[in-house]
């Protein structure tokens, strides 16, 4: 099974009945997401099938708007700027959009991001999820959430969770074609829940998540413990969300992120995204929550920046410690 087989399986029937409309293709939106229980490791690198399930919270108004129009040849425009066709980003997006060439392509793609610039947030998740939504809007495929998630996953694993708002579980699935590996939204909301972006560095990553995951799975002796850890953390985080209990959620999410980073540190050669400034910020968070302090925990992805997990009432005091904190309210429209 390759990615093209999956696209064909989902679209073959539909494409016959629809045509992509060049003129009035709407611009559509997908939110970025931050995992509270991480996805780290693939069981199939072509289809981006994960070893474990994972769980994220969508970033509300922070994400990507995308619009596609059928064109004579492929092009990418990001935030109004045409991207060089041989750049990494255009090459990756071009290869992805090529999967859809028999269903109305080639396409000209235009995206704009509402993710705070340089906040250390990966934008690939919202980018791929918004591109699928834009294709669907232009071509009238009428994808359901499962299909949207599966197609977005072929672009980047975490994009499978960027297809909806709120808390989202990406169920790992068992099938070799991955048709059971997709997002499932949780019904629970948490209006006071906040994410805080602490940027310590915004330069290029020493190693991308694709290569880092592969290296971890293949060489880290610590990876063997990861699937069982994730299974327990998923149960705890879901229970904490149901109870809106930050004191239960924070420690599990933080320990999950730290464990993910330690599996990477055990790879050969080690994958180490932590900078001295990352460790400094982690220690400040740990100090802040000493008895009588602020209930705040952190999570981290494939990079050196921190994302704080807290509730609305702690925002003012956190801003004193982290003056440049970007605060995201995942359950408000703002
Ligand atoms: O979707 P990718 O290949 O960029 O991987 C993302 C992996 C993490 O962000 C580190 C964890 C996650 O679950 O989002």
At residue 18, the pLDDT reads: 63
Yes or no: say if 150 and 182 are a contact pair by the CB < 8 Å rule. yes
- Choose one of 52, 209, 298 to mutate for the ligand 1 pocket test, by most ligand atoms within 8 angstroms of C-beta: 209
Q: Which protein residues are within 6 Å of ligand 1, measured from CB?
A: 35, 38-39, 54, 122, 124, 156-158, 209-210, 301-302
The per-residue DSSP string of 163-209 comes to TSSSEEEEE----TT-TT-EEEE-S---TTEEEEEE-S--S--SS-H
- Its pTM stands at 0.96
Ligand 1 atom showing the smallest separation from residue 302 Cα: 10
Phi, psi torsion values for 307, nearest 5 degrees = -120, 120
Q: What would the pLDDT profile of 68-86 be if each residue is shown by its tens digit?
A: 998 899 999 999 999 999 9
Residues in a beta bridge with 299: 307
How far, in Å, from the CA of 34 to the mean position of ligand 1? 9
At residue 117, the pLDDT reads: 60
Q: What percent of the chain has a predicted confidence (pLDDT) above 70?
A: 96
Yes or no: say if 78 and 89 are a contact pair by the CB < 8 Å rule. yes
How far, in Å, from the CA of 292 to the mean position of ligand 1? 34
Encode burial over 51-73: b for 16+ CB neighbours within 10 A, e otherwise.
bbbbbbbbbbebbbbbbbbbeee
How far, in Å, from the CA of 18 to the mean position of ligand 1? 33
How far, in Å, from the CA of 118 to the mean position of ligand 1? 17
Q: What would the pLDDT profile of 31-64 be if each residue is shown by its tens digit?
A: 999 999 999 999 999 999 999 999 999 999 999 9
At residue 20, the pLDDT reads: 82
How far, in Å, from the CA of 35 to the mean position of ligand 1? 8
In angstroms, the CA 15 to CA 8 distance is: 10
pLDDT band, very low/low/confident/very high, at 312 (cuts 50, 70, 90): very high
At residue 19, the pLDDT reads: 77
Give how far Cα 318 sits from Cα of 195, 196, 254, 283, 332, Å. 11, 9, 17, 14, 20
pLDDT band, very low/low/confident/very high, at 284 (cuts 50, 70, 90): very high
- Once rounded to an integer, what is the mean pLDDT over residues 127-145? 95
Locate tokens 């999410």: which residue? 253
Which residue has the least CA distance to atom 6 on ligand 1?
158
DSSP strand E in the chain: where? 28-37, 42-44, 49-50, 54-70, 75-78, 81-82, 107-113, 167-171, 182-185, 193-198, 297-300, 306-311, 326-328
At residue 105, the pLDDT reads: 84
Question: What domains are there in the chain, each with its CATH number?
Answer: 3-185 (3.30.230.10), 193-328 (3.30.70.890)
Yes or no: say if 109 and 81 are a contact pair by the CB < 8 Å rule. no
- Once rounded to an integer, what is the mean pLDDT over residues 13-27? 75
Q: What percent of the chain has a predicted confidence (pLDDT) above 90?
A: 84
Q: What would the pLDDT profile of 163-174 be if each residue is shown by its tens digit?
A: 999 999 999 999
Which residue has the least CA distance to atom 10 on ligand 1?
301
Mean residue pLDDT of the chain comes to 94
Q: What would the pLDDT profile of 173-193 be if each residue is shown by its tens digit?
A: 999 999 999 999 999 999 999
Structure tokens of 206? 């020493």
- Determine how β-strand 75-78 pairs with β-strand 107-113: parallel
pLDDT band, very low/low/confident/very high, at 206 (cuts 50, 70, 90): confident
């Amino acid at each position: 099974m390759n990615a093209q087989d999956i696209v064909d399986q989902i679209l073959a029937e539909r494409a016959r009945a629809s045509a992509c409309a060049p003129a009035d293709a709407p611009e559509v939106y997908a939110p970025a997401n931050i995992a509270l229980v991480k996805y780290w490791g693939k069981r199939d690198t072509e289809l981006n099938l994960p070893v474990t399930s994972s769980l994220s919270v969508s970033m509300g108004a922070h994400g990507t708007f995308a619009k596609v129009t059928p064109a004579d040849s492929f092009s990418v425009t990001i935030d109004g700027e045409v991207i060089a066709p041989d750049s990494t980003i255009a090459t990756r997006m071009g290869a992805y959009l090529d999967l859809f060439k028999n269903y109305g392509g080639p396409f000209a793609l235009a995206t704009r991001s509402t993710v705070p610039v340089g906040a250390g947030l990966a934008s690939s998740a919202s980018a791929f999820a918004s591109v699928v939504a834009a294709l669907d809007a232009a071509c009238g495929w009428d994808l359901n959430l499962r299909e949207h998630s599966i197609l977005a996953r072929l672009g980047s694993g975490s994009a499978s969770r960027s297809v909806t708002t709120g808390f989202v579980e990406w169920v790992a699935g068992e099938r070799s074609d991955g048709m059971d590996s997709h997002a499932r939204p949780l019904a629970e909301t948490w209006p006071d829940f906040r994410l805080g972006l602490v940027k310590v560095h915004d330069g290029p990553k020493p190693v991308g998540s694709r290569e880092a995951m592969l290296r971890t799975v293949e060489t880290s002796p610590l990876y063997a413990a990861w699937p069982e850890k994730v299974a327990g953390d998923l149960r705890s985080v879901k229970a904490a969300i149901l109870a809106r209990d930050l004191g239960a959620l924070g420690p599990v999410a933080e320990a999950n992120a730290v464990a993910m980073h330690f599996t990477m540190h055990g790879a050969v050669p080690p994958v180490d995204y932590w900078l001295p400034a990352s460790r400094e910020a982690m220690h400040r968070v740990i100090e802040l929550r000493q008895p009588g302090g602020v209930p705040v925990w952190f999570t981290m992805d494939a990079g050196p920046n921190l994302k704080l997990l807290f509730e609305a009432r702690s925002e003012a005091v956190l801003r004193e410690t982290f003056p440049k904190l970007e605060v995201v309210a995942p359950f408000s429209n703002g």
